[in-house]
Amino acid sequence: MLTDSLGAQMGLYPLAGERVAAFTVHRTLETTLPEDARAALREALSGLGWVVPGALERCPAPEEVYYDHVAQAVVDRWSRGRVVLVGDACQAVSLLAGQGASLGVGGAFVLAEELARGGSVQEASARYERRWRPVVEERRRAALTGASWFLPQSPARLRIRRAVLRLSALPGMERFVASSVSGKPSRVVKDLAEGGAPG
């Protein structure tokens, strides 16, 4: 179950043994983590209604609450000398995109291919970045778009999201909705999936 609300959300899902897990998302301009995560959640989510007030009452102690910022890693260069970054070190498109492991594994695979092609580490890392950065940038843009729909800021955007979610139940529409959230497959990803030659 997930609230359908502006600027803040709470989701609840069942675990084994009649336990329930909760996750929350809210917008904030704060750039540092709060000292008391439970108090921050209670303040940010207090107006949501439904079962949220009861869930907030049962919120565990602050030290048991995982609270973090959803952010992207934007790095100008992925290598310097013989040091090369992979995965979230240079390609974190955000928790909401849900593609961190895939990008990390795919990027490592492309780097390994480029190292195997020969030349210096510097040449291989430059080729790796030329091939893989467009994939990461596409996912980064899709994550920004997806975040704006995941946590709408205006009533109009919330109504559009509701309509799109209803449409996604129609045959064929689920692919359109999924690609608008996760981005379109790039040529490099298609080559990797088909085991083709490096592009």
As a whole number of angstroms, the distance between CA 116 and CA 119 comes to: 9
Q: Is the dihedral of CA 71, 136, 121, 191 positive or negative?
A: positive
Q: Is residue 168 exposed (0-12), middle (13-18) or buried (19+ Cβ within 10 Å)?
A: middle
**Token pair in block for residue 49:** 């209604």
Confidence at residue 186, expressed as pLDDT on a 0 to 100 scale? 59
Q: What is the mean pLDDT of residues 104-133?
A: 95
Q: Is the pLDDT of residue 125 over 60?
A: yes
Q: What is the mean pLDDT of residues 110-114?
A: 96
Tens of pLDDT, residues 30-57? 889 999 999 999 999 988 988 999 999 9
Tens of pLDDT, residues 134-143? 998 888 888 8
As a whole number of angstroms, the distance between CA 136 and CA 7 comes to: 27
Confidence at residue 99, expressed as pLDDT on a 0 to 100 scale? 81
In percent, the amount of the chain with pLDDT more than 70 equals 88
Phi, psi of 58 (to 5 degrees): -90, 5
Tens of pLDDT, residues 135-186? 988 888 888 887 878 888 899 988 988 888 888 888 877 777 666 655 555 5
**Token pair in block for residue 48:** 């949501």
Which has the closest alpha carbon to 79: 150, 113, 116, 127? 127
Which has the closest alpha carbon to 70: 12, 37, 26? 26
152, 143 in Cβ contact below 8 A? no
List CB contacts of 108: < 8 A, sequence separation 6 or more: 86, 87
* Residues composing the chain: 199
Q: Is the pLDDT of residue 121 over 90?
A: yes
**Token pair in block for residue 38:** 């439970």
State which amino acid sits at residue 68. D
Confidence at residue 124, expressed as pLDDT on a 0 to 100 scale? 96
Confidence at residue 180, expressed as pLDDT on a 0 to 100 scale? 62
Task: State the Cα torsion 13-14-15-17 to the nearest 10°.
Answer: 160
